[in-house]
Structure 1
């Protein structure tokens, strides 16, 4: 109750309201002037002397209050000029409890957001450049060998060139998905479907891609749907993005001759769906689990360091989270005794935003 009372009295608190501070300045100046006038009336002091002292006192008080009010603005102006030059690390003090304190906190949040955007932009250039350079260099080497007569344009050589082209195509697809993510909400076209044949088709495509577009073709994919007649309600294309990216991530970080399992179970709502993708890799440390769905965050850094997987672009899991969010669902890294287990929850009928 006291918190409500203090919040109601906030406009009267000179430490929490600029209006109250200015009002206090006027009242104090009037009180000082009145006191000096009364002093002049009851003494032999001339009125002009009293007026002079009154003006000096009012100016000193006004200067003190004005300095305390303009100080934060000057600091924010200096930080804004630094941000205009590209320095997003500047922050302003926000110890005040008044409107200037709120403005300082808002300014700091804005600076942090701009710093994150700038960091993501630099990471985008670095990651895309790195990912493009490898397949382009390999494709160029193959073509140069064919042109120079070192290699013959046989099926094996052309197959190598095709793999690098497919890798470039996959990167372009991810960048297009990222652009779609940045441009706002994409309408969903949800429908009812049988889960078993749908996921079986997705795994068949993943097996084909695993054998053609990646070096990892020794990982076994397993599908577990219970009950077999399970039905769900979702956007098939967006769900395909989710499952494909999760399988791709699991395959990259699986051990040799490992196993990736896709499980599907009924959710809590009508035609809701619970999906799990499990692998037998090194897993994701608990301290990193909150970052794996961020852009350019590579969930398998530890695996890549040990020679498992190729790291990827760091966009797959971010795109998966985006597609799940469009459904109003949830995606997370769950506890697992071995490897990594990612859970996806789709709400089914009744709670999906933006469905058509």
Structure 2
């Protein structure tokens, strides 16, 4: 069954969109629910801030009586006369509203008294200033006290028709008050309607008096010193079921839906731009890898970004360069190998055909020449095999404790006839040590270095073999006199099939693999083979091994 693949750009787009959709939905949903539940309480809390003077007056009353029931009862009993059957109940229910009216009148008087300090600023008309002063004078005479909220009333309550002032602008009331000595009840306008929504609770929030409410109300603590003695409660003015609230919340819902739609649209655009921003470089990287699988190693991916995708494109381009170099090296390897094999094979073929045609007889000299070509082929194939194993890190080495200088002396002794034949002066000086090496592989390196010196040193020249060592390393140097090498030639030593003098190497039987193989073998043995200009004017080969093999 084939599974439908979802592109990464589409996944990114859907992830950003759905995440934004979920966050926006939850946020606006919680906001809408909280607004419906808590907005009316918030309005009540704001209104509660206007009741500071009432809260202060109630605290002062409690400080005198130490109990809310006693305070209400004591202030009702201040009224003279014989009460009707329901007068006490009516006054108990009215007590908190009366305290609110008293606080309202006191605040009105305080505010207008402060404004009357400089009346010419508040009211420039002299006639109106005189009227306002008279009004404040009358208000001061009838200003009630929170400790005597029912002052001016008598029992029964039906006998108090003249105790209330319905119109503050009527004349003659000031004289009535001054002559009778009794205060009149002043009806202050309650524009916010707070008096009908007030309730009083004790310190345990048990209802005492006022307007009980089943819904959530706002509380304001009443403090005497550092102790809470009660709470002033205010019922919210807004009801979720009334027409005004329904209209208000409907408008808010429309605004929230508009914000919700705009948020989703913005997240849709942002998710689309983000997915496109990531899709293009990913597609370029994908096309680049496809080009590499086709063998187009010169293809470069252009992603100009300062993030992980930019780093990935840089590494991919670097990989393409390495693969291109390896492919070039592989082709050169194949071409060089076929060329090196072609030469001895062509010689053998010519000699065999000459014998078949009767031009050349199978004499010992001719057979020896053919065997020489066979040996060249054998050496070439063996070097190729060893080099391939060394590059694949599969070269077999058998380590044992040896004295490398003794091995070198033995090889030099076997090479002395060749040095004499090449008319080279050989100088040997050195000392040995104990190293963990493969003796056969070490001999193979020295054979290649000595053969190279004989092959590339002019007749009458000099070859100097000497050693140096420290506490951690042992080194042997092979210096020869000219022919010398340029810096460019020196840098290429150790490459496969590279010959500084191709014609001279072929004439002396070199394959061009000896130094390259020696470098790989030295590395496999834990050492290093490097090349430099010799003080004698030719080539210096430096072969170093650590005295302690790293595990």
TM-score range, shorter chain: 0.7 to 0.9
Please say if 1:106 is aligned against 2:304: no
1:190 pairs, out of 400, 409, 413, with: 400
1:238 pairs, out of 441, 454, 459, with: 441
Moved more, 283-292 or 151-160: 283-292
Question: Does the CA contact (< 8 Å) of 2:464 and 2:480 recur in 1?
Answer: no
Q: Deviations over 1:7-46 (max 9, x none)?
A: xxxxxxxxxxxxxx99xx78x968x969x979xx999975
Please say if 1:128 is aligned against 2:337: yes
Q: Which residue of 2 aligns with 1:315?
A: 513
Moved more, 310-319 or 70-79: 310-319
- Alignment RMSD, CA only? 3.7
Please say if 1:220 is aligned against 2:418: no
Alpha-carbon distance between aligned partners in 1 of 2:285 and 2:315, rounded to the nearest angstrom: 11
Alpha-carbon distance between aligned partners in 2 of 1:334 and 1:259, rounded to the nearest angstrom: 18
2:527 pairs, out of 329, 338, 354, with: 329
Question: Does the CA contact (< 8 Å) of 2:468 and 2:475 recur in 1?
Answer: yes
Alpha-carbon distance between aligned partners in 2 of 1:68 and 1:188, rounded to the nearest angstrom: 58
The 1:133–1:105 alpha-carbon spacing in structure 2 relative to 1, beyond 3 Å, is same
The 3-state SS of whatever aligns with 1:156 is helix
Alpha-carbon distance between aligned partners in 2 of 1:203 and 1:117, rounded to the nearest angstrom: 38
1:114 CA displacement: 2.3
Q: Which residue of 2 aligns with 1:340?
A: 539
Question: Does the CA contact (< 8 Å) of 1:174 and 1:315 recur in 2?
Answer: yes
The 1:221–1:164 alpha-carbon spacing in structure 2 relative to 1, beyond 3 Å, is farther
Moved more, 138-147 or 102-111: 102-111
Question: Does the CA contact (< 8 Å) of 1:267 and 1:347 recur in 2?
Answer: no
Alpha-carbon distance between aligned partners in 1 of 2:316 and 2:476, rounded to the nearest angstrom: 41
Alpha-carbon distance between aligned partners in 2 of 1:258 and 1:130, rounded to the nearest angstrom: 33
Q: Which runs of 5+ in 2 are unaligned?
A: 1-11, 32-249
The 3-state SS of whatever aligns with 1:101 is helix
Question: Does the CA contact (< 8 Å) of 1:221 and 1:261 recur in 2?
Answer: yes
Moved more, 218-227 or 144-153: 218-227
Question: Does the CA contact (< 8 Å) of 1:225 and 1:264 recur in 2?
Answer: yes
Question: Does the CA contact (< 8 Å) of 2:387 and 2:520 recur in 1?
Answer: no
Question: Does the CA contact (< 8 Å) of 1:241 and 1:319 recur in 2?
Answer: no
Q: Deviations over 1:126-146 (max 9, x none)?
A: 011000000000111112112
1:113 CA displacement: 3.0
The 3-state SS of whatever aligns with 1:180 is helix
Aligned pairs (5 A) from 1:72-111: 72-93=281-302, 95-111=304-320
Q: Which residue of 1 aligns with 2:479?
A: 278
The 3-state SS of whatever aligns with 2:403 is strand
Alpha-carbon distance between aligned partners in 2 of 1:288 and 1:72, rounded to the nearest angstrom: 43
4+ aligned runs moved over 6 Å, structure 1: 41-45
Larger radius of gyration: 2
Alignment TM-score, normalising by the size of structure 2: 0.50
1:176 pairs, out of 385, 390, 393, with: 385
How many equivalent pairs are there?
A: 313
1:195 CA displacement: 1.8
Question: Does the CA contact (< 8 Å) of 1:203 and 1:221 recur in 2?
Answer: no
The 3-state SS of whatever aligns with 1:308 is helix
Q: Which residue of 1 aligns with 2:87?
A: none
The 1:71–1:312 alpha-carbon spacing in structure 2 relative to 1, beyond 3 Å, is farther
The 1:103–1:157 alpha-carbon spacing in structure 2 relative to 1, beyond 3 Å, is same
Alpha-carbon distance between aligned partners in 1 of 2:333 and 2:415, rounded to the nearest angstrom: 26
The 3-state SS of whatever aligns with 1:265 is strand
Q: Which residue of 2 aligns with 1:9?
A: none
Please say if 1:263 is aligned against 2:475: no
Alignment TM-score, normalising by the size of structure 1: 0.74
1:83 CA displacement: 1.3
